[in-house]
Amino acid sequence: MIWIGILIVVLTFLAIIKRYETRLVLFIAGVAMALAVGKPLVAIDAFAKTMVSGGLVTTICTVMGFSYVMKLTGCDSHLVNLLTSLLKKADFILIPGAVIITWVINVALPSTAGCAAAVGAVLIPTLIGSGVHPAMAAACVMSGTIGSVMSPGLAHNPFVAKLANVDVMTVIAGHTIPALISLAVAATMLTIVSHLQKEGASAERSTEMFSNAEFFQINVIKALVPIIPLILLVLGSKMVDLISEVTVPQAMIIGAMLGFVVTLGNAQEISKSFFKGMGDSYGQIMGIIIAAAVFTQGMDIIGLTGALIEKMKESQDVARYAASIGPFFLAVLSGSGDAAALAFNGAVTPHAAQFGFKITDMGSLATISGALGRTMSPVAGGAIVCATIAGVNPMEIAKRTAPGMFCALVAVLIVFSIK
């Protein structure tokens, strides 16, 4: 049965790499493993149970509802243009600055493709106009999309929080240092690559192309709205405790209401947008989590999870490398950091204590590793968006982000090893 399970898992990952529909692949694989031992309904029960997982549904759906409202009201555009206008005043930090700006915005807007589109539409033309090579300009934005690991709206953070029975801000606080180190390494390595290849800002390559930031009338109040929910969550967290605790749904609904107040938009349209974001996120993000639950239930029923845990008990190093290298390389191949990390966190992370780790540490390591791998994948949705805006091949972006992501993976692994 274990060998049958291994075969199914291998076929599952191959199907994901081939870019078959992730939810369908994970669901079929989970049911197939359960069917092999004559218990298909147990796997299907996992589907129904995860559908109503309170902490996950409320967090992810309200964050995406808020994100949709920010797009509708244009508050996200004001934030992007504000940060871009500040960046243009210091040409010598264009490359690392662009990575950092995208990272910050990705915390507020955790969708990789959505952030790449919102930031890239303004920042990539700005960089190209300053003489930065188009592929390097796109790589700057793509490298910054690892900021989502700091967002309470990223599916993995509430998922790990639920496993560890802690609040989502505790999970984020636990991997803040590794996340910041990965940002520093990624930005530094991309800057080095730009110098070595002579693809940074250049007067010879500069053009008359200007981004919308040249003509965009920035409203600072509107620009602040997307980050207000994050501020509320930090101030109300147990670590800071300056205000009463604020839940993620509360913060996001407050943010959506502020979006209406500062723009005086159409209340009906804002309401429709908020609930559309909630619905889309349930189908897309929760859908993957639900399908992954069926997959991990199948692994458990067929005995593969137990065998894997026993093998990992032999060495903490095996567990550590499995949590980092596994999600990283699958994300590179498939373009998604979600499927591998969610499957790993669902099957292995609950047993982290048996390997000498905290659940939050092992879960965060898999999460960050998956994000780093996705960021250097030429088939990732965000890479395709950036490539389209810059007019380059996605593989050209991957070539430039790869050194930083590899080095960041090593740095993160070292940090978690000494924690």
Q: Where are the domains of the chain?
A: 53-283+311-416
Q: Using an 8 Å Cβ cutoff, are 78 and 181 in contact?
A: no
- Identify the CA nearest to 223 among candidates 85, 99, 61: 85
Asked if 165 contacts 363 with a C-beta cutoff of 8 angstroms, the reply is no
| Residue 239: per-residue pLDDT | 65
pLDDT for 200-254, tens place per residue? 766 555 554 444 445 668 888 998 998 888 788 878 876 677 888 888 889 889 9
How large a percentage of the chain has pLDDT more than 70? 92
Lookup: tokens for 27: 């669901």
Helix (H, G, I), strand (E, B) or coil at 27: helix
160, 349 contact by CB (below 8 A): yes
Quickly tell me which residue has 């995860």 as its tokens: 50
- Range with the poorest average pLDDT among 20-24, 58-62, 90-94, 193-197: 90-94
pLDDT of 145 strictly over 90: yes
CB-based contacts of 392, cutoff 8 Å, min separation 6: 134, 135, 138
Helical ranges in 74-167 per DSSP H: 75-87, 94-108, 112-129, 134-143, 156-164
Over the stretch 316-325, which tens digit does the pLDDT of each residue have?
Answer: 777 778 888 8
Q: Which range among 26-40, 49-63, 127-141, 363-377 shows the weakest confidence by mean pLDDT?
A: 49-63
Structure-token match 């029975």, residue found: 165
* Gap between the terminal Cα atoms of the chain: 37
Amino acid at 93: I
Spell out the residues 6+ positions from residue 153 whose beta carbon is closer than 8 angstroms to its own. 59, 60, 63, 64, 66, 67, 110, 248, 252
Q: Is 144:103 a contact under the CB 8 Å cutoff? A: yes
CA distance 165 to 171: 10
Predicted model pTM: 0.74
String of b and e for 189-201 (b: at least 16 CB within 10 Å)?
bbbebbeeeebbb
Q: What is the mean pLDDT of the chain?
A: 85
DSSP H or E stretch at residue 276: helix 267-281
- pLDDT given at position 236: 82
pLDDT of residue 256: 92
| Between 218 and 160, the higher pLDDT residue | 160
Is there a contact between 249 and 58 (Cβ–Cβ < 8 Å)?
yes
Cβ contacts of 213 within 8 Å, gap of 6 or more: 81, 84, 85, 88, 122, 126
Measured distance CA(236)–CA(112) in Å, rounded: 26
What is the tens place of the pLDDT at every residue in 5-14?
889 988 987 8
How far apart CA 417 and CA 419 sit, in angstroms, is: 6
pLDDT tens for each residue of 281-313: 888 878 887 888 888 889 889 988 777 767 766
Highest mean pLDDT among 73-77, 115-119, 265-269, 276-280: 276-280
pLDDT at 205: 56
Share of the chain above pLDDT 90, in %: 35
pLDDT digits (tens, 9 = 90+) for 388-415: 888 888 889 999 999 999 999 999 999 9
Per the CB < 8 A criterion, the answer to whether 380 and 397 are in contact is: no
